Structure 1
Amino acid sequence: MTRLIQSLPEISTNYDALFVDLWGCVHNGVTAYPEACAALQAYRQTGGKVVLVTNSPRPWRSVATQIKEFGVPDDAYDAIATSGDSARLAMYLGVVGQKVHHIGDMFKDDFMQPMDIIMEEALEITEVPLKDAEGIVCSGPEDPLADPEEYRGTFLYAKQKGMKLLCANPDIVVDRGEIREWCAGALAALYTEMGGESLYFGKPHPPIYDLARRRLSRIAEVEDARILCIGDGIGTDVMGGIGEGLDVLFITGGLAAKEFGPDPINPDPARLKMWLSEQNLAPTAAISLLR
């Protein structure tokens, strides 16, 4: 039974660390949510640790710079684990070959830069045109507002060549302010639907949680039973956290806000219960907004 709460402190004393989603929970792609930042700052002041776990295709340092520009204070978190870093690690291990075709000009410079960790087994990766590639690396569509179907021709060629697609961000859509944009996950889903093989490294898949635990272990030793995942994505944050055996706090006022009534601040408990039942997922608790 999912408990509907009004503020993070109602349950946060049960946990020593939080794995917190960013987009839709801490910021909206344009500006930070002051109440969410204040809640994380207050939690850290009690000794709790905060790892921001995001499906951003960017390296963590790039995310740190980005969220600072949005107004997220440095003392609201301890570490960042990104889908981009998890996917880049796999890329430099050669999971889609050494000659790769990159889709997603917006994050190309960040994604293709060398890893900031020492890897004796790292390969030299070369970006090449599609016709010369062994595999595809996708950090997002070139135009996040365009229909993913525009890539069908590219993917048909790639599938015929037996290429794998490395997806740096499993999210299908994200809201940047009031505008909904397509993410790399939408392209990967299309490629899979067409019979191609897509590889995922962000939420809800295990690699990013392994990375988050590694980042947390540098700060403190925390048992899984004392970690709370927080996020607004039912198919990413909630499914991923539950799949890892972790407790989850679902943010109802994010991507699925319209499912729970006209007032995002006061979700209808009956509608929430029915919707979660339809999803066949039961997060530990739910809250309208992180605060």
Structure 2
Amino acid sequence: MTIPRLSLTDHFATLAPAYDVVFSDVWGVVHNGSAAWPDACDALTRFRAAGGTVILLSNAPRPGDRLVAQLDALNVPREAYDRVVTSGDITVAEIGKRAGVPVFHIGPERDHGLFGGLDAPRMELIDEADYVVISGLFDDETETPDDYRPTLEKMLRRHMPMICANPDLVVERGDKLVYCAGAIADLYEKLGGPVMYAGKPHAPVYDLAHAVAEEMRHAKVDRKRIVAVGDSVRTDLTGAADAGIDCVFVTSGIHAEELGHRDSPELEKLASLFAVSGVHPRAVMQALKW
């Protein structure tokens, strides 16, 4: 294979002057679900100190303001970001549009906050609901998407719409990968079910993050002056490309094993990954570092 020219860099500082705003992925760039990565937090803090704006852009199925406590617990300093925008924010807005309509929730109890303060009667039985919100698996330590196939087939017979509050397929938790809501939503869509995806790589969450960035900067922000930082080809890289913004791709996240090694990815495998996806980043870093 002929390896296309890849822009590899060890330091975000070489790229930072070209941008006013960073849309940083959270899980996989800023932390791994167990602990924050100090170099990434330092890089974002330094970018802000130089006048930049940092929006943490996450597919977490919770409103952004409720993610702050989790970031605090993982020792992500508040100096590293201006605001948090999540797929949960989009999901809450979509639930709000369906006031009074009975809903069935697929996901852990910790995500019940999606429905707080909304006129969204949650049904115990799926047959009693008109649509479904999925935020995750009931038990992502043991279950797989196939465990949900009977439920999805029942939904399909009624042509029930699904709102996916977390389009990620998998996410790192420490040193293992666990399934996310997107894996089940993807299966439902392949079966023929209607799915609305609330987060990356889809446009609504980028439009919201852009509006928040302009609010924070009290000025219009050209998308050419925004850069996304992420570790997923499917969500971060593709989403940024579709939104018309640059992307810095971090190799030490969910693609690390398929790239050969977490600390030193194989260039040929990296090039193949981008070629298959049809999108290429502005630059590649092993991990976000100033």
Shorter-chain TM-score tier: over 0.9
Alignment of 1:222-237 (within 5 A): 222-237=221-236
Task: Return the alpha-carbon distance in structure 2 between the equivalents of residues 144 and 70 of structure 1.
Answer: 20
Partner of 1:137: 133
Which residue of 1 is the match for residue 31 of structure 2?
27
Distance, in Å, in 2 between the alignment partners of 1:260 and 1:182 is: 20
Which residue is equivalent to 2:284? 286
Q: Which residue pairs with 2:152 in the alignment? A: 155
Q: Confirm or deny: 8 A CA contact 1:107 1:139 kept in the other structure.
A: no
- The answer to whether 1:176 aligns with 2:179 is no
Farther off after superposition, 270-279 or 22-31? 270-279
**Number of positions where the alignment pairs a residue of Structure 1 with one of Structure 2:** 281
SS at match of 2:196: strand
Q: Counterpart amino acid of 1:26?
A: V
1:209 is paired with a residue whose SS is: helix
Quote the offset at 1:192 in angstroms.
1.1
CA positional deviation for 1:26: 0.2
Deviations 1:7-40 (A, max 9, x none): 1101011000100000010000011000100111
Matches within 5 A, 1:240-255: 240-255=239-254
Please give the alpha-carbon distance, in whole angstroms, between the structure 1 residues aligned to 2:62 and 2:231: 20
Equivalent residues of 2:91, 2:114 under 8 A apart: no
The structure 2 residue matched to 1:189, chosen from 186, 199, 222, is: 186
Cα shift at 1:276: 1.4
Give 5+ residue unaligned stretches, structure 1: 116-123
Q: Aligned partner of 1:247: which letter?
A: D
Is the aligned partner of 1:110 residue 2:113? Answer: yes
Deviation, structure 1 residue 265: 2.5
Whichever residue aligns with residue 89 of structure 2, its letter is D
TM-score (norm 1): 0.93
Aligned partner of 1:15 among 19, 29, 43: 19
Question: Structure 1, residues 92-135: CA drift from partner, whole Å, max 9, x if none?
Answer: 1129x8110011124332211137xxxxxxxx221112111000
1:126 alignment counterpart? 121
Alpha-carbon distance change, 181 to 2 in structure 1, aligned in 2, over 3 angstroms? same
Inter-partner Cα distance in structure 2 for 1:260 and 1:177:
18
Find the counterpart in structure 1 of residue 274 from structure 2: 276
C-alpha RMSD of the superposition:
1.5
Post-superposition offset of 1:271 = 3.1
Q: Which residue of 2 aligns with 1:93?
A: 97
Identity %: 36
Look up the SS of the partner of 1:276 in the other structure.
helix
Q: Deviations over 1:125-173 (max 9, x none)?
A: 2111211100001011101131111111111111111210110000000
- How far off is 1:274 after superposition? 2.9
Evaluate the alpha carbon distance shift between residue 101 and residue 18 of structure 1 in structure 2; reply closer, same or farther with a 3 A threshold: same
Compute the displacement of 1:209 (Å): 0.4
Deviation at 1:198, TM superposition (A): 1.1
Query: TM-score, normalization: structure 2?
Result: 0.93
Q: Which runs of 5+ in 2 are unaligned?
A: none
Matched-pair contact (CA < 8 Å) for 1:201–1:208: yes
CA contact (8 A) 1:168 1:184 kept: yes
Deviation at 1:256, TM superposition (A): 0.8
SS at match of 2:258: helix
Give the distance between the partners of 2:192 and 2:198, measured in 1 at CA: 19
Equivalent in the alignment of 1:72? 76
Which residue of the partner structure matches residue 164 of structure 1? 161
Distance in 2 between residues matched to 1:257 and 1:178, nearest whole Å:
11
